[in-house]
Amino acid sequence: MNTLLFPLEDAKISVIGLGYVGLPLAVEFAKKYPVVGFDISSSRVSQLSQGIDHTLEVEDELLQSVLETSKSYLDQKKGGFYPTSDPRDIADSNVYVVTVPTPTDKHNRPVLTPMLKASESISKVLKKGDVVVYESTVYPGVTEEECVPVLESGSGLTFNQDFFVGYSPERINPGDKEHTVSKILKVTSGSCPEAADFIDDLYKSVITAGTFKATSIKVAEAAKVIENSQRDINIAFVNELSKIFNLLDIDTQEVLEAAGTKWNFLPFRPGLVGGHCISVDPFYLAQKAQEVGYHPEIILAGRRLNDSMGKHVATEVIKHMMRKDLKVMESKVLILGFTFKEDCPDVRNTRVIDIYQELRNFDINVDVYDPWANSEEVAHEYKINVLSSEKQPDLSEYSAIILAVAHKEFKAWTIQKSDKQVVYDVKGMLDKTLVDARL
C-alpha cells in the first residue's frame, strides 16, 4: 500500500451532501467510524441534529443512536455522526465522500456545479494522504477530468502523489426499506491500485452485501450511468406498447401478464418516469457521446417517449370525459399522488406535474392530493398547492380521478367508475373493472 495511505481503522469521514443518498451512507459509516455530515442547508442540518429525517430514508431511532450533539464527542473506536453546515468542521477528516445532486438544466444538459463546489470546499482542507470519493452520477471522465483539477488547484497538492480519489456510484432506491444502502452490492474504484484497495475495503467494512471493484474510475462511472439508462429504455418500450395497445383496444397490463409467463421476459410496466436518476442519467451519457462525435438515437428516443407520457395521460382522460358527455372546461379533476414514486416523499422531477399542466391548458380545475408529499416543498418547487392530507377528499365532487401514484393508502379507498365520472389508473393498481382506462 502507498505509504501515504493510512490504516483503515484510522479513517475519519466527511460526507458532503445529506440528502436521500448522503444521509443513509453517513449513518451506516457512523456505526463504525467518526463521521461529519456536511450540507449547505442549515434547516436540513438543524432537523437532523434533532434526530429527524424528513426524507424518511433513515428511521429516527437509528439516526438518534449515532447522533452526536458535539463534534468533540466523535469517537474513533465507536464512531458517531455530527451534522453541520459549517465547512470548517470537515477539516479534520481524511476521507471525503461526495453525494451531492447532479441535475440537468432546462435544456437537459448536465449541471456539474454542485460537484465542483463540493470539490472546491474539500480542496481548502485537503491534506497529504487524504482520499476523496465521489458517488454522484456523472458521465465517464468527470471525476478525473473535472473534479481532480479543482482539488489540485485549491489545495496545491498533486493528484495520486499527495492525495487520491475514487468513484463508488450510489445505488439508493428512495422509499425502499428492503434494499437499503448496506444491502445493495457496491461498485468501487480508485485512482491507483492502492487507492482502489483502500476504498474497496472501506465500503466492504460497512456494506454487508459486498463490493465489486471496477478496473478504473471511468468504468465505474460508466456502469452507473448505463444502469438507469437501461431501465429508462425498457420502460420507454412498454410505454410505447401502451400507446399502441390503447389504439387497438387491448389492455396492456393483460398483455404484459401473458408475455411475462416466458422465463426471460423482462417485467417492466408502463408509467411516468421521474425522480433524480432514471429520468436524468441518460442525458449525462448522451452529453458525453455527443462530445466525442456520436449522436445517440435509442437513448434520446427513450427519453422523449417517456417525457411524453404525462401529456398522453391527460389527453386520454379528456377523451374519456368527452365520451361520457362530461364537461371538460371548468370541470374538476382530482390527481391522486404527486411524488415521483409510491410510498416515498420525494417530489424531485416528478412527472405528475406534466399531467397537471396539460389539464390546466384545457382550463380544468385540478386538485392534487398526496399524503406523502410535503405541501411547502411542492408549492416552492412547482408553484401549486396540494390538498390537505388531514382528510380524504370527497371523490364525488370530481368529473375525473387520476390515480397517478400507487401509494398504499389509496389501495384501501373505494374508487370505481360511473357514468358521471372517469377513473384513470396510471399505475395499474386497481382492478380493470373499476376503471375506465389504465396505462
Of 248, 271, 272, 250, nearest to 259 by C-alpha is 250
Of 312, 172, 307, nearest to 228 by C-alpha is 172
Segment 242-245 long-range contacts (CB within 8 Å, at least 24 positions apart): 242/270, 242/439, 243/312
The DSSP code sequence of 240-275 is HHHHHHHHTT--HHHHHHHHTTSTT----------T
Identical fold, 8-215 and 230-438: yes
Parse the chain into domains and list their residue ranges. 8-215, 230-438
What is the model's pLDDT at position 176? 76
Written as nine digits, the cell of 437 is 382506462
What is the model's pLDDT at position 391? 87
Kindly report the number of other CB atoms within 10 A of residue 165's CB atom.
26
The backbone region for 293, taken as left when phi is positive above 0, alpha when psi lies in -120 to 50, beta otherwise, is left
Does the annotation mark 344 as catalytic? no
What is the mean pLDDT, run by run of 10 residues, along the chain of 439 residues? 77 96 95 95 94 92 89 84 95 96 89 96 96 96 97 96 96 80 94 96 96 97 93 96 95 95 95 86 92 94 96 97 94 96 92 97 96 93 91 93 94 87 94 91
Q: Which amino acid is at 276?
A: H
CATH number of 230-438: 3.40.50.720
Query: Which of 147, 192, 277, 344 does the annotation list as catalytic?
Result: 277
The backbone region for 330, taken as left when phi is positive above 0, alpha when psi lies in -120 to 50, beta otherwise, is left
What's the CA gap between 30 and 12, in Å, rounded? Answer: 10
What is the model's pLDDT at position 1? 45
Residues 8-215: name the CATH superfamily. Answer: NAD(P)-binding Rossmann-like Domain (3.40.50.720)
What's the CA gap between 427 and 417, in Å, rounded? Answer: 16
Place of cell 361520457: 324
What is the model's pLDDT at position 2? 52
Contact (CB, 8 A) for 76 and 90: no
